[in-house]
Amino acid sequence: MKITQVIKRDFSTKPFHLHKITNAILKAMTAVEHGGPGEAEIISNNVHLALLERKKLDDNYIPTVEEVQDFVENKLMEGGYFDVAKGYILYRNEQAQKRKSNIFEKRVNLKPYEYPALYEYVSAIRHSYWIHTEFNFTSDIQDFKTGLNDIERNAIKNAMLAISQIEVAVKSFWGDIYHKMPKPEIGSVGATFAESEVRHHDAYSHLLEILGLNAEFKNLKKKPVIMKRVHYLETAL
Q: What pLDDT digit, counting tens, does each position of 45-87 carry?
A: 999 999 999 999 999 999 999 999 999 999 999 999 999 999 9
How far is the C-alpha of 86 from the C-alpha of 227, rounded, in Å? Answer: 58
What is 116-236's CATH number? Answer: 1.10.620.20
How far is the C-alpha of 104 from the C-alpha of 32, rounded, in Å? Answer: 34
**Band of residue 231 on the pLDDT scale cut at 50, 70, 90:** confident
DSSP 71-100: HHHHHHHHTT-HHHHHHHHHHHHHHHHHHH
| Cα dihedral sign, 32-17-99-234 | positive
Task: Flag whether the pTM goes above 0.75.
Answer: no
Q: What pLDDT digit, counting tens, does each position of 97-146 carry?
A: 777 768 888 889 999 888 888 999 999 988 888 888 888 888 888 888 88
How far is the C-alpha of 70 from the C-alpha of 140, rounded, in Å? Answer: 68
How far is the C-alpha of 24 from the C-alpha of 69, rounded, in Å? Answer: 10
Q: For the residues 149-165, what does the mean pLDDT come to?
A: 87
Chain-centroid distance of CA 70 in Å reads: 27
| CATH 1.10.620.20 segments of the chain | 116-236
Query: What is the enclosing helix (H) or strand (E) of 15?
Result: strand 13-15
Q: What pLDDT digit, counting tens, does each position of 161-190 carry?
A: 888 888 888 899 999 999 999 999 999 999
Chain-centroid distance of CA 44 in Å reads: 35
Could you tell me if 164 and 205 are in contact, meaning their C-beta atoms sit under 8 angstroms apart? yes
- Strands 5-7 and 13-15 turn out to be antiparallel
